[in-house]
Chain A
């Protein structure tokens, strides 16, 4: 028996949320009195792979087939399912990332596994095996009992704390046979903004909406985000109007995020917007309308004009940085 985690890498480096899902897996492995294995696909250095030992990983399966250098949901899900079978994994875990969403459902079908997508906490496994996950676009939680022998779970980013348990990992090469039928899709181009913090992974987010009046006013939002090391986000009307890219749109038909801080400037807080941010740990609202519905969902707020308030926040942030 074992718990198997698929840990994503970008350019050979594991991202923060990959360590989160590994720590999540370690907790589950401990609860089940079994070991934790990780499968990695791509060109990751032996150093990075064996370093996973410090998060409690016992075994790392290293898949470095050149045909898998680019993401391919058919081939990757096949490889991971193979690994789950050969490691006799009873629980298969990965992030609820864009890759995870392409892979986990296919793996669940291959392994005839119950599947909980977007877990927000460790499963309860005292009596049955139950996973708490978000539902109704952030308005509720559903508790899903997984009844099958093998279980698949995807975890939301920023939902589990990384824990260093110490230990060392055995790294082994893993080369399952690939079927031509699984390699038919090809990647033509990958475009990744490396200078910006990726919104789905960000711990801190500064967001703005129609209250900013026009795209030319976003400088102060970006300045505040830079000072905080935060990602920038926006509301739907603003991305529909082309003021900000679609990838920044947070909401029911945009991205759902759960950062530690969501600071919203000039956004009224319609239900569809709240759906994207309700799991944020701390919500701050800056709006000149005291009746803005967002204040009812906020932890902190300032009723005031964004053009006066935000510069003051920037001053205060600079002062804080200087004193540290």
Chain B
């Protein structure tokens, strides 16, 4: 079994977010970068599925050389080899196009991504890769099992879940619950240094969109505290002042 896992290099959760250059660029100074948490879940599931049956997991990332430590971390977790497409991940369509192009002739059984990245929250890359390759996709997948040439995938829906049967090859976006992220062990960390990391050049992709600027939400005012022994007053305020019910 050959699985391709797509990983993004994203700012750590607890990072303070601010922008520079007139709010046109995310300020990366002093920011810790990590593997996107959903991608870690995808990687863990892929490794579970290839354990003990000779399967391999390849990871792919679209980024400049600064993403290599993040890629090495994925190798340390257990991926066999890695590909870095040498380009800035300009937008979801650009990233999906690079991955689809790199993946198309590599004979993968299926492709796993995280459902969305925690920086842009586009949730578009998995489905776009699938559309470019002409294969099925499940964008928010909570469970995944493989039997021969068919996958059984549990996708999330409002108020419930749907179990779908999808033929290989496909692309799925891993959501919370698919697997527990794996922590790299010492052996993994040592071997990561020598596992293959191939760098390829990007293809041309039409520019369909561009982020012009960012801003941050207006901070809420000071919290209005209601004393605990008069808690009922909160209901009155929510009804008459905030008017939420």
Contact = CB atoms under 8 A, between A and B. Distances in A.
B36 to A, nearest CB: 10
B54 interface: no
A253 B208 contact: no
Interface in B94-141: 96, 118-128, 130-132, 134, 136-140
B231 A316 contact: yes
B165 interface: yes
Given A106-B128, A135-B119, A299 B242 contact: yes
Nearest to A190: B162
Is the contact region of chain A dominated by helix, strand, or loop, or is it mixed?
Answer: mixed
A261 B238 CA distance: 9
Contacts of A172: none
Interface string B38-77: 1000000000000000000000000000000000000000
Interface residues of A, number: 102
Contacts of B19: 140
Contacts of A228: 245
B148 interface: no
Nearest to B216: A140
B162 A254 contact: no
Nearest to B134: A181
Contact of A272 (B13, B136, B216): B13
A252 interface: yes
A302 B214 CA distance: 34
The size bracket of the interface on B is: 35 or more
Query: Would you list the 8 A-B pairs with minimal beta carbon distance, nearest first?
Result: A304-B228, A316-B232, A198-B159, A114-B209, A312-B231, A105-B127, A105-B124, A192-B160
Interface of B: 11, 13-14, 17, 19, 26, 37-38, 92-93, 96, 118-128, 130-132, 134, 136-140, 142, 152, 155-167, 170, 176-177, 206-217, 220-221, 223-228, 231-239, 242, 244-245
29 contacts: A73-B138, A98-B140, A98-B156, A102-B155, A105-B128, A105-B139, A109-B132, A115-B92, A118-B122, A135-B119, A137-B13, A138-B217, A140-B19, A140-B217, A147-B210, A181-B134, A186-B164, A192-B160, A200-B158, A247-B161, A253-B176, A256-B121, A271-B14, A278-B217, A284-B238, A300-B234, A301-B225, A302-B226, A316-B235
Interface of A: 10, 71, 73-74, 77, 97-99, 101-106, 108-110, 112-118, 128, 130, 133-148, 181, 184-194, 196-201, 204, 228-229, 246-247, 249, 252-254, 256, 260-261, 271-272, 275, 278-279, 281-285, 295-305, 308-309, 312-313, 315-317, 319-320
